[in-house]
Amino acid sequence: MKLSSIRRRILIFLIPLLFVVWGVFSAIVYNLTEEELYETHDAQTFQLASVIAQLQGDTISPEHLDEHHVIGDYFVVIRDASGNDIYKSSDKVVLPKTLKPGVQEIEHGRDDWVVWNFPGQKTGQHYIIGVIFDEAIELADQTVATVSIPLALVLVFSIIATIFIVKRGLRPLTALSETLATREPGNLGKVTTEKQADELVPIVDSLNMLFDKIEEHLAREQRFIDDAAHEIRTPLTVVKAQCQVIERDALDDATRLRFDNIIEGVDRATHLAAKLLEHARAGQDVHKEITEHDLLPVLQESLAQQAHAALDKNVELQLLQSEHVEAVVDPEDLGAVLGNLIGNAIRHTPSDGEVIVVLERRDDHIQLSVEDSGPGVPEEYREKVFERFFRMPGQSSSGAGLGLSITQTLCRRNGIEISLGKSERLGGACFVLKLKK
């Protein structure tokens, strides 16, 4: 039978188990209690038989008595109306001359006794039966023990069994939780309702509806950024074109300074719009298929694109690995990542500095490193540099603060692990990329 319901799954396992536990431990309690009752009954029967035998002038051997009892545990006394003992089964206990009718406790030597005094209705005789106190309470103790110990075991076993069955019954919920916990942040695909418990289907459906709404909202946000970036770039291009028509040399010094500031502001705004557009595109196509590609052409092209910037700043730019290595990555995304990292390293490296790109094979991944001889990044800022619009205090170089955020987004899309540390070779910053083989 298919257990599609968590409730049914738990009940089907738990109820039969409780019946089994109840049956087993009831049998144990019955056997233990029966054994103790039989022992007590045997001792009392032996005492009664001994009294009858003595009244007939005979005796019974104590070897027939159960080993748990001794002859001195019981006594029988018959008294006449004057208080004289007509019959005594044992001289071990000396009774007071007067005993009130009914049950009472007396102390003799080191032992406590429970004594029953039954007056006769016709002869006035008293029939006295005594049992040592320990023997009187032994049956109660044994009965309590034989009941409480198995019940305690039943309780412990039931708790353990219940925990196990509930854990097993809630396994579909645990599996769903693990599925959601291992999802990538950008994965908003639907969660399948196949093989889900009946109680979880409405939850999964609600989650899928929420994922659809989030995906739709993110798509609108990305379209807005894309459209805004396009709309911003067009008037900026027009403004810059109009400024370039003006003859700069014909302006006085103060006007020339304001003119240069306008050109610089337009360039920065254009750069920001380009970065916003790049950021929007980086968040798109999250689920596109990625296959293995040769990294060497991508590295060579990325260095070639940054060679002019390095030459202008007199920064030595080199690749320390020239063999063909394949990794699971999108070449365009990797090119954008390397372009951001190499360009960032050149900007922050002083003149006559050095920037190197290192490609290494590791046991379980391919490692790419971009290192520079610049001032590096203090440890307290190494996580924050990947945040949008973050700029380190005292930083003099221009930038929109989006390059590393875009880089991290592209790395996540390609399953690349990126980290920032200190370069052991050059002493500056070292960005490390770990690519899947």
pLDDT tens per residue across span 30-53: 777 766 666 666 666 666 766 666
Q: Do residues 21 and 160 share a domain? A: yes
The residue among 49, 32, 44 whose CA lies nearest residue 136 is 44
Q: Determine the pLDDT at residue 432.
A: 92
Radius of gyration of the chain (CA): 48
Written as one letter, the residue type at 139 is L
b/e string for 79-90 if b means 16 or more Cβ within 10 A?
Answer: beeeeeeeebbe
CATH value at residue 356: 3.30.565.10
**And the tokens for 146?**
């034989």
pLDDT tens per residue, range 272-309? 676 666 666 666 555 566 788 888 888 888 888 889 88
Question: Do 26 and 218 touch, CB atoms closer than 8 A?
Answer: no
Q: Do residues 367 and 222 share a domain? A: no
Q: Do residues 360 and 273 share a domain? A: no
Strand partners, 417: 434
Q: Determine the pLDDT at residue 385.
A: 84
Question: Do 341 and 370 touch, CB atoms closer than 8 A?
Answer: yes
- Helix axes of 201-245 and 253-282: crossing angle, nearest 10 degrees: 160
- Final residue in a domain of this structure, among 141, 165, 189: 165
Could you give the C-alpha distances from 175 to 11, 166, 182, 196, 205, in angstroms and in order?
20, 14, 11, 9, 16
Identify the residue with better confidence: 148 or 182.
182
- Final residue in a domain of this structure, among 230, 256, 280: 280
**Residue 241 lies in domain:** 198-280
Question: Do 165 and 14 touch, CB atoms closer than 8 A?
Answer: yes
Structural element, H or E, at residue 229: helix 201-245
- Final residue in a domain of this structure, among 165, 184, 218: 165
% of the chain residues with pLDDT over 90: 5
Strand partners, 131: 74, 114
Q: Do residues 335 and 408 share a domain? A: yes
pLDDT tens per residue, range 357-416? 988 888 888 889 999 998 888 888 888 888 877 777 666 555 556 778 888 888 888 888
Give the whole-angstrom CA distance, residue 423 versus residue 429: 6
Over residues 154-179, mean pLDDT: 78
Q: How many other C-beta atoms can be found within 10 angstroms of the C-beta atom of residue 320?
A: 12
Over residues 321-341, mean pLDDT: 85
Over residues 344-361, mean pLDDT: 89
Could you give the C-alpha distances from 357 to 318, 368, 413, in angstroms and in order?
6, 7, 22
**And the tokens for 194?**
């196949």
CATH value at residue 237: 1.10.287
The dihedral through the CA atoms of 18, 21, 27, 33 has a sign that is: negative
The residue among 228, 278, 284 whose CA lies nearest residue 401 is 278
Give the whole-angstrom CA distance, residue 350 versus residue 313: 8
Over residues 236-249, mean pLDDT: 78
**And the tokens for 361?**
């094979």
Confidence label for 433 from pLDDT (cuts 50, 70 and 90): very high
- Helix axes of 403-413 and 253-282: crossing angle, nearest 10 degrees: 10
Q: Do residues 12 and 154 share a domain? A: yes
Q: Determine the pLDDT at residue 70.
A: 53
Q: Do residues 217 and 295 share a domain? A: no
Q: Determine the pLDDT at residue 371.
A: 93
pLDDT tens per residue, range 52-91? 666 666 665 666 555 555 556 778 888 888 888 888 877 7
Written as one letter, the residue type at 14 is L
Q: Do residues 160 and 299 share a domain? A: no
Q: Say if 52 falls within a structural domain.
A: yes
b/e string for 233-249 if b means 16 or more Cβ within 10 A?
Answer: beebeebbeeeeeeeee
The residue among 323, 335, 425, 319 whose CA lies nearest residue 372 is 425
**And the tokens for 42?**
């045997």
pLDDT tens per residue, range 173-210? 878 888 888 877 667 778 887 877 777 788 888 888 98
Backbone angles phi, psi at 246, to 5 degrees: -70, 135
**Mean model confidence pLDDT for the chain:** 78
Overall number of domains in the chain: 3
Give the whole-angstrom CA distance, residue 426 versus residue 315: 13
Residue 22 gets the label, from left (phi > 0), alpha (psi -120 to 50) or beta, of alpha
Token pair 């989650």 is found at: 207
| β pairing state of 354-361 and 316-319 | parallel
